[in-house]
Amino acid sequence: MVRNSVYGSNVLLSILKHDLTDHDTFMVLLQTLSFIICSERVLFTHITNVLFVLFVFMFMLCLKTFLLNAVLHRNIISPCWRVTMYGAPVDLSFKNISSLTDTWIEEPNSGLRPLKRNSEMKYLSCSLRLNNNNITDLHDLQKTVSHFLAQPAHLTWLDLSFNKIAHIDHVLCELRELRVLYLHGNSIFILSEVDRLGVLAHLHTITLHGNVIETNKAYRNRVISVLPRLKTMDFSAITRQERVLAKIWHQSNSRCRSSKVNQ
């Protein structure tokens, strides 16, 4: 027991002197933890238990940091998320805005988390709220995103709900990093315009309820079929059964179109 305790103490002190994110340090810690667990001569007295808990804690901390660094160094996470993993959204809701150009003179609403700016006074955020306004078109959306965000190309979350938008503009298709898009409570009436969003490879959440298109019988089937990477629609998780039904609907609809063309 004494020998194991001395060994554990020496290794512990040695590890504390090194960078926990270093690969060699990580491997030493892993081997030491394995030794303590597997050694038949370890008697779990009070001291040994304390050492064991410390090793487990350091192991988990080191593993988390090591894996996170590995992911970041390989650019698996987009640059925006590396800078502002959970940055506060730029909130321009409830501003009585009719045109997107009107937002350029507005200051974002303050929230629980303060917004951070870069040297150019642009916001370090990947989220933009424009909900509960009177916006009718999105022609200046790219300029608006560039006006506020330090990294406009990495906008991942956009809230346009409760406006007066009648069409799904092509400008939305240019937001290639978009993950979440809220369009509920608008005036969108052409269901086929949803097809345009199929180019957004990362889009996994969308809301479209409260629009005229919701009354279309094929509403949910069409949206799910043209946006196969969706996980959530109208704040409801997409089930496996819904995906199957949407696929069947799409195949049936395609056959009907083909037969009409042949006629």
* Tens digit of each residue's pLDDT (9 = 90 or more) over 24-69: 555 555 555 555 555 544 445 555 655 665 666 666 666 655 555 5
What would the mean pLDDT of 121-138 be, rounded to a whole number? 96
Mean pLDDT of the chain: 80
Confidence of residue 77 (pLDDT cuts 50, 70, 90): very low
Between CA 178 and CA 121 the distance in angstroms is: 23
Domain boundaries of the chain, sorted by first residue = 2-73, 83-262
- Confidence check: pLDDT of 210 > 50: yes
Q: Which two tokens stand for residue 227?
A: 């946006």
Give residue 99's pLDDT band: very low, low, confident or very high (50, 70, 90): very high
> With 60 as the cut, is the pLDDT of residue 23 above it?
no
Q: What is the dihedral of CA 182, 180, 93, 220, to 10 degrees?
A: 10
CATH class entry, domain 83-262: alpha beta
Of 163, 103, 116, the C-alpha closest to 136 is: 163
pLDDT band (50, 70, 90) for residue 122: very high
Structure tokens at 29: 């810690």
H or E, element range at 152:
none
Across 115-129, average pLDDT: 94
Kindly report the backbone phi and psi dihedral angles of residue 113, in degrees, each rounded to the nearest multiple of 5, phi listed first: -105, 130
Residue 195 pLDDT greater than 70, yes or no: yes
Task: For residue 93, count other CB atoms closer than 10 A to its CB.
Answer: 17
Greater model confidence, 252 or 38: 252
Is pLDDT at 157 greater than 90 in this prediction?
yes
Could you give phi then psi for residue 249, rounded to 5 degrees? Answer: -60, -45
Structure tokens at 226: 């043209």
pTM for this structure? 0.68
